[in-house]
């Protein structure tokens, strides 16, 4: 060690400071006894590889260590040779601060795996992607999958495979191929296994697919697998089902009988005609319609006005846009392309039966009073002043105060959309769109998953050949949503 230190110190004392010229540049270098060390230093300064370096001193090339002894202190060296080109990196690196908000969500969030298409299965893929973001449904299927007391029939196996598919999608980072699930689904329901003249599987209806899934899940998921094991309804009814009242009144003279009956539904429909511009209008048309029924008094078919109102509100509300219809002259199903706008927050108060509607109104008044109190406003004084001006309204307010406020607000938040692109009902392409957080959404186009924004979702209202909303998935809001931010100048 002592000898090596002496050698190092000796080499430092023998180093000579010289100048080196290369390509119009001049560097100050230390020339010692090793030519290899000098060349390594020059590579770090100029990026000229050692094998390309040609060192000259007083017109002579320096080829070996002994040639360096001829170099005098403050001597002038020259180097010839071309440097390596700096190549751009083959992989593009993007820093987090350069990403947009939706790209950051796409980078960090989970549950973004797509589903491979197994022969026109986009109608199924889009439906599955919306359903798997219903946590209560996933939890119930998970309980069923781990229960050894399953029935073991085809519907049971199908539900178990659906749960497996949900789990795989949650963990996957690459597209998943649901071969086993698709095979058993087509076997159990042959209408989804129809083939065209070319032998390819035919396109199917996303709504029919959803209703089939619900029937299968409803037949297997008894109340013990749900959030309320004491309920009399199966899990599907607990999540999607709601009770309605139907009133039938004959629109013709001679029959003044009014019939009322209760029923249950799993979804609402939006009827579309030349006057439908908004989702609420289409739902109202489906709830208030004229039907033809047999009149016992007239002893013939007659027109009846049917009025339907909601008696209960489901936790999840599915709304189908009735865009496909049978065109007799063409002999096939066609698509209604009309533009129908749908809201991010849907108010269903006007669709409800009178007792439920009043209960929702009482809840909203209660929430408003709480917000006013937080803001330091005395809403009761304002009501008293209005009551003095209008005694009739004062009486109505007293009646409203006796009504028990509803447990829910009557508002629903959009979290999923299934769209259809194309003019033919038996062709085209389905895509699923699912909400992530804030204004960020994900677009599930079979195996391709990409981020999008709320404005992209609102553009799915139709009016052309672009992706058009066909099924909307809403979640009930049991807490009053915050008021929308006002846009524009203060």
Name the DSSP letter for residue 298.
T
Q: Could you give the angle at the alpha carbon of 100 between the alpha carbons of 99 and 103, nearest 5°? A: 80
Q: Does residue 289 contact residue 342 with C-beta atoms inside 8 Å? A: no
Backbone phi and psi for residue 184, each to the nearest 5 degrees, phi listed first: -70, -30
Length of the chain: 490
d(CA 119, CA 125): 11
For residue 386, give the 3-state DSSP assignment: helix
For residue 14, give both structure tokens: 């023998």
- Roughly how many angstroms between the first and final C-alpha of the chain, as a whole number? 79
Residue with tokens 């406020």: 405
> How many Cβ atoms sit within 10 Å of the Cβ of residue 146?
10
For residue 107, give both structure tokens: 């980078």
The verdict on whether 122 is a catalytic residue reads yes
> How many Cβ atoms sit within 10 Å of the Cβ of residue 456?
15
d(CA 411, CA 365): 14
Chain-centroid distance of CA 317 in Å reads 16
* Residue 111 CB partners (closer than 8 Å, separation 6+): 132, 133, 169, 170
Classify each residue of 296-324 as buried b or exposed e, where b means 16 or more C-beta atoms within 10 Å of its C-beta: eeeeeebebeeebbbeebbbbbbbbbbbb
d(CA 309, CA 350): 9
d(CA 431, CA 129): 9
Name the DSSP letter for residue 192.
G
Q: Which of 155, 271, 334, 429 is catalytic?
A: 429
- Determine whether 198 is exposed, middle or buried from the number of CB atoms within 10 Å of its CB (0-12, 13-18, 19+): exposed
Q: Which of 18, 122, 250, 270 is catalytic?
A: 122
Residue positions annotated with a catalytic role: 122, 429
């Amino acid at each position: 060690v002592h000898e090596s230190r002496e050698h190092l110190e000796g080499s430092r004392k023998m180093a000579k400071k010289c100048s080196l010229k290369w390509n119009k540049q001049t560097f100050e270098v230390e020339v010692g006894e090793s030519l290899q060390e000098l060349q390594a230093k020059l590579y770090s300064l100029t990026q000229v590889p050692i094998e390309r370096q040609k060192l000259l001193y007083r017109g002579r090339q320096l080829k070996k260590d002994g040639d360096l002894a001829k170099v005098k202190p403050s001597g002038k060296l020259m180097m010839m040779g071309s440097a390596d080109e700096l190549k751009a990196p083959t992989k593009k690196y993007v820093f987090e601060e350069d990403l947009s908000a939706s790209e950051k969500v796409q980078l960090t969030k989970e549950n973004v795996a797509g589903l491979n298409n197994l022969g026109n299965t986009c109608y199924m893929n889009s439906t599955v992607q919306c359903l798997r973001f219903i946590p209560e449904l996933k939890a119930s299927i998970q309980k069923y999958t781990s229960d050894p007391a399953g029935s073991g029939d085809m519907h049971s196996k199908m539900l178990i495979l659906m749960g497996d598919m949900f789990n795989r999608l949650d963990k996957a980072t690459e597209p998943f191929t649901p071969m086993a699930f698709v095979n058993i689904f087509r076997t159990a329901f042959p209408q989804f296994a129809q083939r065209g003249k070319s032998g390819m599987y035919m396109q199917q209806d996303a709504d029919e697919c959803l209703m089939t899934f619900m029937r299968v899940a409803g037949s297997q998921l008894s109340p013990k697998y749900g959030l309320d094991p004491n309920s009399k309804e199966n899990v599907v009814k607990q999540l999607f089902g709601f009770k309605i009242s139907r009133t039938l009144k004959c629109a013709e003279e001679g029959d003044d009988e009014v019939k009322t009956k209760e029923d249950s539904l799993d979804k609402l429909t939006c009827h579309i005609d030349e006057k439908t511009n908004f989702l609420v209008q289409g739902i109202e048309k489906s709830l208030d319609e004229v039907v033809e029924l047999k009149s016992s008094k007239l002893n013939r078919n007659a027109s009846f006005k049917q009025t339907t109102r909601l008696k209960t509100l489901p936790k999840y509300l599915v709304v189908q846009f009735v865009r496909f219809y049978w065109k007799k002259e063409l002999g096939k199903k066609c698509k209604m392309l009309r533009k129908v706008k749908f809201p991010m927050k849907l108010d269903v108060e006007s669709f409800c039966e009178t007792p439920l509607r009043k209960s929702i109104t009482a809840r909203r008044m209660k929430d408003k009073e709480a917000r006013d109190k937080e803001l330091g406003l005395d809403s009761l004084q304002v009501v008293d002043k209005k009551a003095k001006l209008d005694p009739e309204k004062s009486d109505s307010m007293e009646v409203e105060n006796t009504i028990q406020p509803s447990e829910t607000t009557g508002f629903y938040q959009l979290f999923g959309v299934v769209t259809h692109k194309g003019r033919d009902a038996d062709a085209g392409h389905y895509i699923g769109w699912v909400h992530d957080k804030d204004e960020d959404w994900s677009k599930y186009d079979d195996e391709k998953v990409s981020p999008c924004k709320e404005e992209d979702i609102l553009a799915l209202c139709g009016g052309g050949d672009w992706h058009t909303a066909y099924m909307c998935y809403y979640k009930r809001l049991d807490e009053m949503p915050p008021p929308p931010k006002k846009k524009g100048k203060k």
